[in-house]
Amino acid sequence: MQTCSEAGQRPVHHRWSSPTLFSFVVGSLLLGLACGCGSERPTVANDPDQLLKQMSEKLAQAKSLSFKVDRKLDAALVEGRNIPENAQIEISVSRPSKFLAKSDSGDNARQFVFDGQNLSVYDETMKLYATVPVSGTIDEVVAKIDEKYGFTPPLAEFILSDPYGALSPRIKSQVYKGKETVGVVECHHLSLGGDVADSELWIGVADLLPRKLVATFKGREGAPQLQAGFSDWNLAATLDDKFFTFVAPQDAARVEMVTEAQMKETETKVAVRQK
């Protein structure tokens, strides 16, 4: 900047004094922050909560759907066994009250079948099955068997009528980590912190469907993980009622499905006997 000095009538260069420069820099920064310049403002496209809601709505709107999951469980998360488990899972759902989940881990194949009136668990490997009467919507039945029998179908959170309602109460913190590619699918990467598990979830940018989940169970020694890769999504699957009807094979034997209360009673009896 040039001006004339009154003394010498010579053009001189004004020098920026330190306070002026400081004020300029701080002012520019404040203006930048106010305008949102230089920082990524939260939008629907990168708001983890909004993305979870959109994923949930997409799943809930599908009345008849099927998908596959490639699930890896660390040894510490496999009930009663101390070896990791890799399972291929196929899940089919007909809302409001039917589902079928087939799980095959190589040495153990199981089915969970709910036809609206009964839930059957079939151990294909050992040719054993248990059927219990339980009725209601998928949400109601998942909650009932969770409470009474202490389990849910694999990744049940994603087949409920409101996955967001099932997932969000557990989420204590959430961060949008950016866009990443899972396989060939461009995804939003969300980091979801919880009390029991911290989860990384990848949701497809184009279809808003879950593509990958990595849950770290931090309360356990070694922080074991569950990894799930979702694929083959069909939100308009053709599934008739017969598909969800469990018919026990002739060579299969019926066994009892033990409730949590029965198991606790057994534990108490054993403890008393040991004293």
Which residue from 59, 155, 171, 209 is in contact with another protein, where contact means CB under 8 A?
A: 155
Quick one: which of 227, 259, 260 has its CA closest to 70? Answer: 227
246 contributes a contact to another protein by CB under 8 A: no
Q: Which is nearer to another protein, 115 or 157 (CB)?
A: 157
Q: Which residues contact 64 (CB under 8 A, 6 or more apart)?
A: 93, 94, 95, 236, 237, 238, 239
Residues 164, 229, 225, 112, CA torsion sign: positive
20 touches another protein (CB under 8 A): no
Would you give the end-to-end CA distance of the chain in angstroms?
93
Tell me how crowded residue 65 is: count the other CB atoms within 10 A of its CB.
23
The single residue among 8, 11, 38, 80 that binds another protein, judged by CB under 8 A, is 80
Torsion angle defined by CA atoms of residues 257, 104, 210 and 170, in that order, rounded to the nearest 10 degrees: 30
Under the binding rule (CB under 8 A), the answer on residue 157 touching another protein is yes
* Residue among 84, 165, 193, 229 that touches another protein (CB under 8 A): 165
203 binds another protein (CB under 8 A): no
Instruction: Decide: is 255 part of the binding site for another protein (CB under 8 A).
Output: yes
Which residue of 40, 79, 232, 240 would you call a contact of another protein, by CB under 8 A?
Answer: 79
Structure tokens at 103: 């799980």
Using CB under 8 A as the binding rule, whether residue 68 contacts another protein is answered as no
CA distance 244 to 46: 38
- For residue 86, state whether it binds another protein (rule: CB under 8 A): no
> Would you tell me the crossing angle of helices 138-149 and 260-274 to the nearest 10 degrees?
10
Cis peptide before 96 (omega within 30 of 0): yes
Residue 256 lies near another protein (rule: CB under 8 A): yes
Q: Is 253 in the site for another protein (CB under 8 A)?
A: yes
The stretches of 171-248 forming alpha helices (DSSP H) are: none
In the complex, what is the shortest distance from the CB of residue 44 to another protein, in angstroms, rounded to a whole number? Answer: 22
Site residues (CB under 8 A) for another protein? 73, 75-82, 110, 112, 121, 123, 126, 128-130, 139, 142-143, 146-147, 149-157, 160, 162, 165-166, 168-170, 194-197, 213, 215, 217, 219-220, 226, 228, 253, 255-258, 263, 266-267, 270, 274
